[in-house]
Amino acid sequence: MSDEAHQDLEIIVRLLESSDGCGCHELLEQLGCLTPKFCGSGFKTALAAVSFAHIFRDKEIKEGLASAANELESGTDTIATMAGAILGAVSLQMPEWPTQDQEYIVQEARRLSTIARGQTQDSFTYPDLGHWNPPAKRNASIGWSDGQLAISGLGKLVP
């Protein structure tokens, strides 16, 4: 397995260093991500996502996301999501399109940044799944918390 990983890394380096530049389709093809055997492979998908992030590092993020998402039969949603997360983490600009859970993501990024600077922060207490018993009926999981509707074990509902 390590030999295969080493070969995959050599393929990526060769393609990224080629004078022609590296096309996303060519990268996926040479990694084998377009074959049923390796489509969705965790390691190859992660390599493809990191490579896409590298290829699009100096371009518009949405161009990289669209390119990854349009490589059908390659695990497009996972590759695009991972590449987008990497590109978004280093971007100095907020996306111009709506982002699911944007307020939460920004809040957590600020909290983590504060922790990285050595300051204490309140943390979310995750339910202990070893001791939590889910409700027997779906509607039993809905209730009130601090005057707002909430789902047991998950948090407040926002209509």
Amino acid at 49: A
Kindly list the domain boundaries of the chain, sorted by start residue: 2-93, 125-159
pLDDT of residue 148 exceeding 80: yes
Beta-strand relationship, 148-151 and 155-156: antiparallel
pLDDT of residue 145 exceeding 90: no
Across residues 3-31, what is the average pLDDT?
77
- Which one of 23-37, 69-83, 104-118 scores highest in mean pLDDT? 104-118
Position 74 scores a pLDDT of: 61
pLDDT of residue 147 exceeding 70: yes
pLDDT of residue 72 exceeding 70: no
Neighbours of 107 (CB within 10 A): 11
Token couple for 116: 């990285």
- Higher pLDDT residue, 63 or 40? 63
Q: How far apart are CA 76 and CA 72, in angstroms?
A: 6
